[in-house]
Amino acid sequence: MHVPYETPYAFVSDIDDTFLVSHSATRWQRLWVLLSRNARSRAPFADVAAHYQWLAQAGPATPEQPNAFFYVSSSEWNLYDFILEFTAHHHMPKGVFQLSQLKRLSQLRQTGQNKHATKLDRIVRILQACPGQLFTLLGDDSQQDPGIYASVVKHFPGRIRAVYLRQVHAGGRPAAEAALAQIRQAGVETCYFEHSHDALRHSQEIGL
């Protein structure tokens, strides 16, 4: 169990293709990587740990009392031990994990698929449980994060500080740009980035 500190800022991050290279847009490539690699041989995106560590200590937070992190993913609880070891090995901030229902082995090829509505539900529950915190959302453009995050911004006005989307899938760019335009209209900062050092620089510039 991990109980986060009640700091002014909190962060909700997707996992696959946001900080863990997963090839979520290609089902069979995703499955091959999942079956052929372990938590120490899988790769994070370059500089992503530096960005997240910066966010963990943004504002009045300290290394002893970092900002709250919530890792919300369409991946199943079957992968919890793997994800926990991966985040620890690559020095990601400690956080609360919100994953999807366990799958049987026969369902493994569908891992991470068709769980996006419940992902939105989990993010909503987090914001409702932490009414005094200002949130930043981090995801990618390979699946449904842009639309989910736009919905969160719409239904929780004044609660979202910024939205970050990693560019990983060319086919997802139009939907991502449309969602980000809607988010900016609501007065929320956005960053659509390919490299984590650009996201880190943006966070520093806006005072996160």
Closest CA to 190 of 202, 198, 201: 202
What is the chain's mean pLDDT, rounded?
85
Three-state SS annotation for 61-111 = CCCCCCCEEEEEEEEEHHHHHHHHHHHHHCCCCCCEEEEECCCCHHHHHHC
Query: Which one is predicted more confidently, 174 or 34?
Result: 174
Report pLDDT for 4. Answer: 78
Convert the pLDDT of each residue in 54-105 to its tens digit.
999 999 998 899 999 999 987 777 778 888 898 999 999 999 999 887 655 5
CA 152/CA 109 separation, integer angstroms: 29
Q: Which two tokens stand for residue 76?
A: 């199943």
Domain ranges of the chain: 9-206
Using CA atoms, how far apart are residues 10 and 25, in angstroms rounded to an integer?
Answer: 28
- CATH architecture, domain defined by 9-206: 3-Layer(aba) Sandwich (3.40)
Q: What is the pLDDT of residue 14?
A: 94
Give pTM, 2 decimals: 0.85
Structure tokens that stand for 179 in this block: 């969602």
Q: What pLDDT score was predicted for residue 41?
A: 58
Tens-digit pLDDT profile for residues 7-59? 899 999 999 889 887 645 455 455 544 544 544 556 789 999 999 999 999 99
